[in-house]
Amino acid sequence: MLLEEIKNYKIYLASQSPRRRELLAGMGFDFEVMPTHVKEVHPEGCTPAQLVEHLSRLKLSAVKLEDFPENALFIACDTVVVLDDEVLEKPENEEDAFRMLHSLSGREHVVMSGVTVKTRRYCATRHSETRVRFRAFSDEELWYYIRHYRPFDKAGAYGIQEWIGYVGMEGMDGSFYNVMGLPTDVVWDMLQNAVKE
């Protein structure tokens, strides 16, 4: 089983997201958090899927493998919300959060996450997509959520595991955990491939 095979590796999660830490720990892995400090550059003309894959690779671009143990294994992930081909990342302030949430109200959107897994012998990138449908929210409800939950560290200005998801999600097609920020099924599959190399 993967949890036994991966004990030979030292796992590093290239993310400061508390949700990603919670999900990776919930999968049964021991790991260290390795914050990344890279400027997120968006290449011209790429699709949202290409963008999240690029951003996940970018988070590991500054990693010097020789500075880490030989058995190091790195996981990086980036998540965006896509509505009508517009990429919604983290809001800059309350007004930006309201704009994003208002645009998602009563609509279906797509949450995309790119994942990169890297060792000295293996490097792969994949992405996951989940369709989410929200009911129509009142302005009062949106401001309640923004002011009580402060979703400024979340793509699309919301956390599906918070109040707004409890009261507003009408349906979903795809991985719930992808919407939280880490497509755990994809990560599991990629790690199985990594330990075989």
Crossing angle of the two packed helices 18-26 and 184-196, in degrees rounded to 10: 60
Give the residue ranges of DSSP H helices in the chain. 2-5, 18-26, 48-59, 94-104, 139-149, 163-168, 176-180, 184-196
Crossing angle of the two packed helices 94-104 and 139-149, in degrees rounded to 10: 130
Catalytic, out of 30, 67, 78, 96: 78
pLDDT at residue 40, rounded to an integer: 76
Spell out the SS3 assignment of 140-196: HHHHHHHHHHCCCCCHHHCCCCCHHHHHHEEEEECCHHHHHCCCHHHHHHHHHHHHH
pLDDT at residue 183, rounded to an integer: 98
Active site residue 30: no
Domains within the chain, CATH numbers bracketed: 2-196 (3.90.950.10)
What string of pLDDT tens digits covers the 197 residues of the chain? Answer: 999 999 999 999 999 899 999 999 999 999 999 988 777 777 888 999 999 999 999 999 988 888 999 999 999 999 999 999 899 989 999 999 999 999 999 999 999 999 999 999 999 999 999 999 999 999 999 999 999 999 999 999 999 999 999 999 999 999 999 999 999 999 999 999 999 87
